[in-house]
Structure 1
Amino acid sequence: MSKLLSPVTLRGLTLRNRTVVAPMCQYSAVDGFANDWHFVHLGRFALGGFGLVVVEATGVVPEGRISYGDLGLWKDEQIAPLARIVDFLHDHGAAAGVQLAHAGRKASTPVAWNGAEELATEEQRKAVGYEHWQPVAPSAESHDPANPDFQVPTALDKAGIARIIDGFAAAALRAEKAGFDTVEIHAAHGYLLNQFLSPLSNHRTDEYGGSRENRMRLVLQVAEAVRAVWPEDKPLLARLSVSDNAPGGWTPEDSVALAIELKARGVDAIDCSSGGLAQGHITSTASYQVPLAKAVKQGANIPTMAVGLLGDIEAAETILQNGDADFIALARGALDDPNWAVHAARVLDGAYDLWPVQARRVAGRDQVLGLRN
């Protein structure tokens, strides 16, 4: 069996293979509630054979959403529609994860397809759950002063920081009630925890700013709070922007130091992405972030997840065989091919048993077309 399609265990969770659907914001919720769009969007990846499906960035407090269309887990009523999705994923062989998030100064931004015309009336705004609010951040600085979509945030005080830590822990408890197998702490892509980490966005002078140790403090406190309430037999993940891709910003060396501390606090794997601050610049090419996953894996001795233009099946297998990462995560690649994992099983192993039993007639079609013996 190929490594990509081989089972893997983190704590008490065994995934059927090493393919992961990375979190993808759908901007389709009202008041944070999952609906039929999320059910179908996520459910198809279980049918497509993926090992782990991770639900989009989910606000731990209402003002932590990227937009009014984001999912949330800040109140108990939001548990049931997510539990319905989790049950479907489980019924069809996939593990279920959810990314817990706070957008910080990148919150309360527009939904791209809802412009002035789509929000012209109160009825239209109500239908999509339109809201607008004041973001918070480590420092009172806009993500991008040249972009009017981003507001100048309010700098968080100690009470605000405590509320965020409590929000992550409370959301993790709700995720457990919904039946999720893992939660991922979102500390990447220029959102709140990444904002605290980066010297480009954190200009505080208290214990949450200045030195790298201070800038890491909130992320580590969140990890401790989540691990304290998350079941011991369930893995905890963290997503990092391993590099800001910007001069004077957060670096891979910083991420290795952070990953070591996260591991000591019970984080089991690092989802390795990059960028997210306005100052960052990088050219995206196939597998361009794999060296970041390798650096964290080797430097911190922790399992890593590679992500970023990884849709080539043979290349994905090679990444794992070379020991550069332990999991292969797809986002837009999964949108393009929700059946990528079952296709990988055919290409690498000549196997069709990953298909749902209702769909295994595909094997006969492939035989007629000469795609299998």
Structure 2
Amino acid sequence: MPARALDARALAALAANPGCRRRAILDGAGVDKAALADALGSPSAFGQSQFAFMRGNAFEARVKADGGAELLRLAHQRLDPGAEPPRQARVPDLTAAGPEGRAERTAMALREATAAGGWTLLDHPMLALEVAGSPAYLEPDAVAVHPDGSWTVVEIKSFPMLDGSADPAKVGAAARQAAVYVLALEDVAARIARDVPAQDDAPDGAPAPRVRHRVLLVCPKDFSNLPTASAVDVRKQRAVTARQLARLTRIQDIADTLPEGVCFSPELPAEELTAAVEAVPATYAPECLAACELAFHCRAHSRAQGAVTALGRSVRAELGGLTTVEDVLAAAHGEAGDPDDPAVAALRRAARLRAEALSGHQDALGGHPAHRDHAHGDHREAVCR
């Protein structure tokens, strides 16, 4: 099966759930999770319509027309108004063989642009970032090099900015994606800073490479196809992503725990494929529904096991060592659990309060048996929640 390359969106989603070994190894192996979900009988709702894809490509081409003149004008206006205007910007050729070659060519272009000064636009550069012990190759929309030698990540999105502001959820997703590119650029800057002093042909007084933590988000203005831009500070997203990526278990360590012959090909029989997927532990949370193609499969499995993770990370954290719904109900009803455990004590207190509330409700209803049975069911459901 052809491997699917890791992109910044997948890395941002992986960093948001670093404890999920299933996603880590599937992404590291380049498995097509959408095809895998279809083969498992839990198809995902992910994907972009062909119309939206074509509209996004057309908007990006317009933004980058004439050597990126409009894009750099927006970068100058929003990020660096004190610098010289980008009248004659350079757009170097970044073609090379394979992702490794493109990453090296991008690093060379960044070094040359930093030393030369002036404005430079890198169109679809290739960046490398080590993730869980394996290299991931990332391709941002663009990187702008400022006259002072600093670098800015450019994200081009097709959702509109209405009256100067965009959908906060979409801006947040774009910021998390851009934070991954910032981390990868920082690795390139650190390598250039180490290599430049060792080169005899390095110009004197050349500016040191520096990655800006404010990225340029370019979107259509209002309901038109005209580009506008906003500077987005991604320092918080960068710090969170760096910390979460550092927590990822090495992919080789996960692979070493798998049985011999495990394969994730969607062409396998459903029973064999399901067994292979279940051989890797997953950490499901409701947030996965917005970030992972296997979320529906993992949710069904989590519900079948009665795992409290299906109720959300905050609920899971409050319940301590109680990992299943049955354990929670047993602890709440005094049938199991240590009374000194704060989670057990809180559950029993909640159960008592609920019982008292339902008792008062029953009195108001006149104690009708049907109402009593319904109230008892509500009580168990509320304790579970």
Q: TM-score, normalised by structure 2?
A: 0.25
Higher-Rg structure is 2
Q: Which has the higher strand share?
A: 1
Q: TM-score, normalised by structure 1?
A: 0.26
